[in-house]
Amino acid sequence: MPAVDDALELHFHSTLSEIERSDWDGLLSESDHADYPFLKYDFLSALESASAVSAQTGWQPYHLEVRQTGRCVALMPLYLKSHSYGEYVFDWAWADAYQRHGLDYYPKLLAAIPFTPATGPRLLLANSSNKAAIEAVVVEQLRARCAALNASSLHLLFPEKDVSERWRELGTLQRIAAQYHWFNRDYQSFDDFLARFSSRKRKNLRKERLRVAEQGLRLERIEGGAVTPEQWQFFFHCYQMTYAKRSGHGGYLNEAFFQALAKSMPESLLLVLCFHGDTPVAAALNLKDSKTLYGRYWGCVREYEYLHFEACYYQGIEYCIEQGLQRFDPGAQGEHKIQRGFEPILTYSNHWLAHEGFSDAVARFLAQEWPHIKEYLNDAAQLLPFKAESD
């Protein structure tokens, strides 16, 4: 590849295996998110080895490696996309507008974690490097790469706020959206958390948990290394059933992917199993790091009242309190989370469109969208179940 600024060389890889694991693990360990599960080599590699991401699925790996004087100084998971499924930042209207004007929106170049709407690092940078200069070169060269690939656009999904701001300053458009996260305010127990609720909201939540028990259900939290092969098979069956009910297909991920995670990074996994008697009836899989629990996949073989809330929210909250985790990110969407103590927060994405006219149109759209998002967040915060500060 040609040198950039006589010092940096950018390489693009069609598979993660072309990048040295030691380079990837080394840069991740130098970051402030050394145990962030979704950027681990094993997580991204599992997606590829299980064929969840490939040219055939519309997620062609195109990972970026930056080298300086023979040393790896930056890495980024990249994908050449032929659709917009599995991203959770919805640009279908943009794609439709391109089509109506006789233009191709796909392929597009995407910096993201596939099927994962979780905020976190996207560009790994060596601590000894001039990070700002390298990031600027990366953004510039990714835009140039779009032209070489005949790609319409470049997208960065769910970066941290400071990264999104830097990319905005480097000429990309910033988009704001909302999610709902739980934050640990030094709670000592679940009841300590509930003490912040107004009396009526606290009573409603306790009724939900009591109703789960009244139906003869019990739940277990199992660390990844202790999950049995039979339990993994049951979880995957639940996962498939959920997607079949909701979308008419078996899900983006296959059993091989989950088996790979179970083998390579069990320390990052927490499985919640629900039993009716001795029979498992539901499962929820979380990923985690030293600060955050990430709720990711859920399914059941039979519907029970309030079981989803117990398995996917309340068990996770209890776990965070017990383990001293600071935050619980239960995934995208779901306004029902607000009344259960999940606070509305901002998420970010950045976009660059090669077509000047469409770039201007999207910029106007985002400027019009932002006040509505801000108003929505303010309204959502008023629905939180917590007592007024003066109470």
Q: Tens digit of pLDDT for each residue in 323-357?
A: 999 999 999 888 999 999 999 999 999 999 999 99
Same fold for the domain at 3-178+345-381 and the one at 185-325?
yes
What local confidence, expressed as pLDDT, does residue 137 receive?
Answer: 96
- How far, in Å, are 35, 239, 263, 289 from residue 267 at the CA level? 10, 21, 10, 9
Q: Give mean pLDDT, residues 153-159.
A: 98
Cα distance between residue 153 and residue 143, in whole Å? 8
Architecture of the domain made up of 3-178+345-381: 3-Layer(aba) Sandwich (3.40)
Q: How confident is the model at residue 100 (pLDDT cuts 50, 70, 90)?
A: very high
Residue 143 has pLDDT above 90, yes or no: yes
* Residue listed under structure tokens 């990031």: 135
pLDDT of residue 251: 85
Burial 200-239 (b: 16+ CB within 10 A, else e): ebbeebeebeebbeeeebebebeebeebeeebbebbbebb
Nearest to 343 by CA among 193, 203, 208: 193
Question: How many residues in the chain?
Answer: 391
What is the residue extent of each domain of the chain? 3-178+345-381, 185-325
Residue 1 has pLDDT above 70, yes or no: no
Q: Which residues pair with 99 in a beta bridge?
A: none
Domain at 185-325: CATH architecture: 3-Layer(aba) Sandwich (3.40)
The pLDDT value recorded for residue 6 is 56
Strands 78-81 and 108-111: antiparallel
